[in-house]
C-alpha cells in the first residue's frame, strides 16, 4: 500500500512486502518505524526536504515483528515494540533487556518505539544498547542484493552514526543461546525513576556452566560516545563461582577507558564515579 504527497512523485510510502520496501530503500528513501525519534528530530523543519525526499514507513511489514526461537539463537524482529519485549515470556537470559524495555520513556513510547529504531538512532544514552551488547547481539541487515550480519558493537559507530548502507534495512536482532544457564540484569541511574534520559546505565550477562561463570559480558552506556563492553572486568569474572562477591571485584581500572562528558544531566566526574557504583549494584544483583 502506497501513499503520495503529490501527483508526480512518491513522498510517503508504506509497502506491505519487504521486497518492495528494499526497492524503495535502494532508491534513497528515509526509513521510519515507530517515529518516536524521527519526528522530534524534525521539529521546526519540513517533513520533506533535500535530505528526505521520500519517507519509507515500515509499519506494515509483519515479518519484521515478533520474537522467535531459531536453532542456536533467538530472533527479535526490528519492528518489535518495547511493550512486546517487556511483556513477552522469555528466559532469564533476557532479564536485562526486559528491564531496559520497561524504562524506555513512558507507556506510549514503549507501545510505538521499536528495538530496531533504538539501535538505528544510535544515541549514547539509548537504554537498549548496553543490554543487547551484554547479550552478545548481532544485527541482520537486508538489502535487495543480499543479507549480512554484524556484531552490534560494529554496527553502532558513534553518536547518530551506524554501519547501515543506503540500500539496507535493519531486519532483526539475533541473540545467541547460552551454553548453560544464562542470567542477566540491568541498572539505570537517572534524575528520577521513570521518563528520564540515563546518566549511567549498565547491563550484565553470565553464562553459568557446572557452577562456574563460563562467559561474562558487561556493558555500560551514557559514559562514552557509544555504549561499551568492559573486557577487563569480563576477564576477571570468567571462571569464578556466581556465589562470589562479584561486586567487590569492580575497580577504577575497569572503567578507565570510558570517556564521560559534562552535560545538563551530570558532570563527567560524577558519571565516572557513578559508573563504579552502578556496576557494583549490577553485579550484586547478578550474584543474588
| Predicted confidence (pLDDT) per residue in 190-201, tens digit | 877 777 889 999
Q: Closest Cα partner for 165 from 142, 191, 199, 197? A: 142
* Cα angle 236, 242, 243; round to 5: 115
Average pLDDT of the residues of the chain: 92
Burial (CB count <10 Å: 0-12, 13-18, 19+), residue 72: exposed
| Predicted confidence (pLDDT) per residue in 217-264, tens digit | 999 999 999 999 999 999 999 999 999 999 999 999 999 999 999 998
Average pLDDT (157-176) is: 97
C-alpha cell at 96: 536485562
DSSP at 124: T
pLDDT at 28: 87
* Residue whose grid cell is 524506555: 104
User: Is the pTM above the cut of 0.75?
Assistant: yes
Cα separation of 139 and 286, whole Å? 26
pLDDT at 37: 81
Amino acid at each position: 500500500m502506497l501513499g503520495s504527497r503529490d501527483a508526480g512523485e512518491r513522498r510517503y510510502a508504506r509497502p506491505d512486502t519487504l521486497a518492495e520496501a528494499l526497492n524503495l530503500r535502494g532508491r534513497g528513501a528515509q526509513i521510519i518505524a515507530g517515529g518516536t525519534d524521527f519526528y522530534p528530530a524534525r521539529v521546526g523543519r519540513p517533513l520533506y526536504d533535500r535530505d528526505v525526499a521520500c519517507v519509507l514507513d515500515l509499519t506494515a511489514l509483519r515479518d519484521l515483528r515478533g520474537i522467535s526461537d531459531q536453532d542456536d539463537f533467538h530472533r527479535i524482529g526490528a519492528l518489535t515494540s518495547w511493550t512486546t519485549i517487556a511483556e513477552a515470556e522469555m528466559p532469564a537470559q533476557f532479564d536485562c533487556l526486559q528491564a531496559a524495555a520497561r524504562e524506555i520513556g513512558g507507556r506510549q513510547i514503549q507501545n510505538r518505539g521499536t528495538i530496531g529504531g533504538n539501535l538505528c538512532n544510535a544515541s549514547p544514552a539509548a537504554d537498549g544498547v548496553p543490554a543487547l551488547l551484554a547479550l552478545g547481539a548481532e544485527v541482520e541487515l537486508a538489502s535487495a542484493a543480499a543479507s549480512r550480519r554484524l556484531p552490534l558493537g560494529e554496527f553502532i559507530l558513534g553518536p547518530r552514526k551506524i554501519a547501515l548502507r543506503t540500500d539496507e534495512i535493519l531486519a532483526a536482532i539475533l541473540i545467541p543461546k547460552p551454553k548453560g544457564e544464562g542470567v542477566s540484569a540491568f541498572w539505570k541511574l537517572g534524575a528520577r525513576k521513570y521518563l528520564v534520559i540515563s546518566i549511567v546505565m549498565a547491563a550484565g550477562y553470565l553464562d553459568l556452566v557446572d557452577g562456574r561463570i563460563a562467559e561474562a559480558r558487561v556493558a555500560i552506556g551514557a559514559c562514552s560516545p557509544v555504549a561499551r563492553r568492559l573486557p577487563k572486568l569480563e576477564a576477571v569474572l570468567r571462571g569464578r563461582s556466581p556465589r562470589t562477591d562479584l561486586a567487590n571485584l569492580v575497580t577504577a581500572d575497569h572503567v578507565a577507558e570510558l570517556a564521560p562528558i559534562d552535560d545538563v544531566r551530570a558532570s563527567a566526574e560524577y558519571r565516572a564515579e557513578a559508573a563504579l557504583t552502578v556496576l557494583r549494584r549490577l553485579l550484586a544483583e547478578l550474584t543474588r
